Amino acid sequence: MSTVLRIILQRLALGLLTLVIVSIVIFAAVNSLPGDFAQAILGQAATPEAVAAIRTQIGLDDPPVTRYMLWLYGAVQGDLGISFAQANFTTFTGSSNNVTVADQIAPRFANTMFLAGVTAAIAVPLAVTLGILAALYRNSVFDRAANIFTLSSISSPEFFVAYVLILFLAVLNPILPSLSNIYADMAMGARLKATLLPALTLTLVVTAHMMRMTRAAIINLLASPYIEMARLKGISPLRVILRHALPNALAPIINVIALNLAYLITGVVVVEVVFVYPGIGQLFVDSVKIRDIPVVQACCLIFAAAYILLNLTADILSILSNPRLRHPK
């Protein structure tokens, strides 16, 4: 087990390094976009004096390297700073308020996690079941239909899938609301109902990948001699797959599930905008629009961290599920 622990620590350290590099890349990218916060927020009212005043107030006058270092200095102490919009607002009104980036992101992140949770609860069992059934009845009509359906839904852009679902489930048959504006004190039932359409959209987007991987991994194993042996013993095909093939196919399946779970956190931007779901993706879009670097940075760090951690989890789980990897030579 100590090797696993060492791997975890090693990967976490590498993950931290990745986060720093990601933050540098994002910082550079947002800075190289035309226009800055002052110009974006002032719009037509952007007289040179007003732009200069806002830049001075929120520290946009400092050279980029200095600003990045200041941000990094705060970030390593767990202080992600105050968004430009809030900082500008504070000087604007002459009042003090303490809404930090963390305060802004926390409720949005919770909403995104809720959506990811609901989606995972639908998508993972669905994809694995479909994958197993497709392997079981491979090359049958069912296998082909499942393949065509999931592949075409993953091949369509997310917003298109979203609009198709809205058309069928909200406009033509008003079963579900097209607006997913969940809020803090909403009852669980209503919350689930409001979240269902974006969750279904995401389900359609992530299912194909997981299902195909499950199917492929199992079919791969079905040619092995021990499966042949099991069959010769006269075990039913379903039992062969569940008892003998699946445990050995788990590693690649877990990997792909973890990757897709990460996608549920980082890839929700478009879906959240289409359904007006108040998650982190929508906040991200709003912040990029006004070049609010502290919020953009924080969102990107969360996205990157989600990927790194879920990948790490996937690796650990596949190591644990595969004794050969647990004892590297």
Partner 1 sequence: MKQISRRGLLRTGMAAGVLAATGVPTLAQSRGGTLRLGLAGANTSDSWDGRTHSDTYMIVCAMGAVFDCLTEIAANGELVGELAESWEATADAKTWIFNLRQGVTFHNGAAFTADDVIASLNLHVAEGSQSAAAPIVAAITEMTKLGDYQVQFVLEAGNADFPFLLSDYHLLMYPHGSIEEAIANGIGTGLYRNVSFDPGVRTVLQRVDGHYKDGQAGWFDSIEVIAINDGSARMTALMTGQVDAVNNVVFQTEPLMRANPAIEVMDVTGNQHYSFPMLTNLSPLDNVNVRQALKYAVDRQELVDKVLQGHGAVANDHPIGPANQYYFAELEQNSYDPDRAKAMLQAAGLDGLNIDLSVSDAAFAGAVDAGLLYQAKAADCGININVVQEAADGYWSNVWLKKPWCASYWSGRVTEDWMFTLGYQTGAAWNDTNWENERFQSLLLEARAELDSAKRREMYYEMQMLCSQEGGVVIPMYANFVTANSTKLSHPETVGNVYDLDSNRIAERWWMA
**By the criterion CB under 8 A, which residues form the site for partner 1?**
33-36, 39-40, 42-51, 53, 83, 85-86, 88-89, 91-95, 104, 163, 166, 170-171, 174, 177-179, 181, 183-185, 273-276, 278, 283, 286-287
Q: At closest approach, how far in Å is the CB of 294 from partner 1? A: 12
CB of 149 to partner 1, least distance (A): 24
Comparing CB distances to partner 1, the nearer of 183 and 226 is: 183
Closest to partner 1 by CB, 148 or 171: 171
Radius of gyration of the chain (CA): 24
| 43 versus 63: smaller Cβ distance to partner 1 | 43
Minimum distance of partner 1 from residue 207's CB (angstroms): 24
**Residues in Cβ contact with 54 at an 8 Å cutoff, skipping those fewer than 6 apart:** 37, 38, 41, 42, 60, 88
Q: How far is the CB of 60 from partner 1 (least distance, A)?
A: 13
> What gap in Å lies between CA 259 and CA 255, rounded to an integer?
6
Least CB distance from residue 298 to partner 1, whole Å? 13
Closer Cβ to partner 1, 91 or 147, answer by number? 91
Cβ nearer to partner 1, comparing 263 with 275:
275
Whichever of 33 and 70 has its CB closer to partner 1, that residue is 33
Buried b (16+ CB within 10 A) or exposed e, 229-260: ebeeeeeeeeebbeebbbebbbbbbbbbbbbb
Q: How far is the CB of 157 from partner 1 (least distance, A)?
A: 13
Nearest residue (CB) to partner 1, 174 versus 225: 174
Residue 1 C-beta: closest distance to partner 1, Å: 46
CA nearest neighbour of 50 among 62, 63, 37: 37
